[in-house]
Amino acid sequence: MDIEKDLLAINAELHSDLEKYLLDNGSNNRDLYGINILLDDFEIEFDSLINPPRNREAGFPRVGRDVADPVAREKIVEVVNKWIEL
């Protein structure tokens, strides 16, 4: 997901595949986060292997794969709600 451009890239085997797709199409790495949208549970899971670099850049160096920045989490929810009715 690109939180700056309000874009979702969906349906790939790995988040890194979608990350590469967004980067190849003009997104900035600092704006990209990986999430899972659990349609059966109407839930957003903020877990991805692409998130730790963004967490470090945002000042959360030891939080793992979750999106740690509360501002980014809020923006992620906004973008998901823009494109998908959960």
**Cβ partners under 8 Å of residue 37, min gap 6:** 10, 43, 44, 45, 80, 84, 86
pLDDT tens across 3-49, in order?
Answer: 999 999 999 999 999 999 999 999 999 999 999 999 899 999 999 99
pLDDT tens across 54-64, in order?
Answer: 999 999 988 89
Nearest CA to 31 among 68, 75, 66, 62? Answer: 75
Model's pTM, two decimal places?
0.92
pLDDT tens across 63-76, in order?
Answer: 899 999 999 999 99
